[in-house]
A = this chain, B = another copy of it.
Amino acid sequence: MSKAWHLISRPQGLPTMDNFALRELPDGPLEPDQLRVRNLWLSVDPYMRGRMNDAKSYAASFQIDQPMTGGAIGEVTESRMDGFAPGDMILHMGGWRDGGVVGLDMMPNKLPADALAAGLTPQTFLHNMGLTGGTAWIGLLRVAAAKPGDTVFVSAAAGAVGSAVVQIAKAREMTVIGSAGGSEKCTWVKDLGADAVVDYKAAPVLTGLTQALADLGKPGIDVYFDNVGGEHLDAAFATANDFARFAICGMIDVYNDGKAQEMKYLIRTIPARIRMEGFIYTDQFFDCMEEFYADMGGLIASGAVTMRETVHDGIESVPDAFLGLFSGANIGKMLVRL
């Protein structure tokens, strides 16, 4: 009998363990176009917080007393779906559970055998070759149209998306300033190749960013890859060069508290002609999937892009792993291994 984490109440502010319950899933024979799957890796991502609200967003809300969903890597154990056979490794959206029935609505896709044969681990498709790496690549190169020579600022640079942004930008000959909280994360961001690191726990973001730009002899930033909003975003407005582009990927600072953001430098939008654009991976991914797999696969194969994983073990640990995203507990990609 498979078990899945259900949402049993909507969080007010920061989610807690009380919002979730691990319950058994109904069992039974497969219908046509269904698979039975044993999950091996589960993804937890900040965007899931938005789906816990009962509000219109880009993804439908999770429903109360229903199982949560999310990215997962599983092995097919039984198939009534064309093109899938027992033993296949698949990426699908039936996460937050140890296995069960996967239908077409969970978008199962076989992992490319050649990539696995070349040494990519299956869970890479939950980060650098999937949602987080794709978000980094699309946001940096397509939304912000970053190009060699640009000065790029990226927040949450020790996170799954941010650390991919740092490495893709360096591979493309940009100057990169990453921000992260605390010396351990900052050291890792520097090790990834960032030219400068801003420790937002040590000083106001704008102070640190201004100092980093001065140290690098740069007048300002050309690109901002935003994962957090708030003070970081305002510091980006303050230091933007003319015609700077901001790719807005996440505002984790305000996901939970819903408070107003105090923007002192938003007015620089006009004199600096800043373009700020929100984007979502799935809008653009299918347009550029082949280019992304070829380019990102090459960067990973060459060692230009690596990923550190923060791994929790066991189905019981999923909510803990998820809550850790909001307390800065992860370096790199937060995953659950089953």
Q: Which residues of A contact B (CB under 8 A)?
A: 50, 56-58, 229, 233, 242, 248-251, 254-255, 259-264, 266-280, 283
Contacts and interface: CB of A to CB of B under 8 A. Distances in A.
A229 B267 contact: yes
B266 A270 contact: no
A272 B266 contact: no
Number of copies: 2
Which of A264, A269, A272, A279 gathers the greatest number of chain B CB atoms within 10 Å?
Answer: A269
Contacts of A263: 260-263, 266
Given A262-B260, A262-B262, A251 B267 contact: yes
A264 B249 CA distance: 17
Contact of A57 (B58, B248, B271, B280): B271
Nearest to A280: B273
A327 to B, nearest CB: 20
Nearest to A277: B275
B283 A273 contact: yes
A276 B279 contact: no
A51 B283 CA distance: 41
Nearest to A57: B271
Given A260-B262, A262-B260, A273 B269 contact: no
Contacts of A56: 271
A255 B266 CA distance: 12
Given A56-B271, A260-B262, 4 more contacts: A58-B270, A268-B278, A271-B280, A273-B280
Contact of A275 (B57, B268, B271, B276): B276
A273 B267 contact: no
Given A260-B262, A261-B263, A267-B229, A277 B274 contact: yes
Contacts of A250: 270
B271 A58 contact: yes
A63 B201 CA distance: 41
A271 B264 contact: no
Contacts of A269: 248, 251, 276-278
B50 A271 contact: yes
Nearest to A254: B267
A267 B254 CA distance: 8
Contact of A278 (B50, B229, B272): B272
18 contacts: A58-B270, A229-B266, A248-B269, A249-B270, A259-B264, A260-B263, A260-B264, A261-B262, A261-B263, A261-B266, A263-B263, A269-B277, A270-B280, A273-B278, A274-B277, A275-B276, A275-B278, A276-B277
A324 to B, nearest CB: 22
A64 B57 CA distance: 51
A249 B273 CA distance: 10
A249 B269 CA distance: 9
A251 B271 CA distance: 11
Which of A248, A251, A255 gathers the greatest number of chain B CB atoms within 10 Å?
Answer: A248
A247 B274 CA distance: 11
Nearest to A243: B283
Contacts of A255: 267
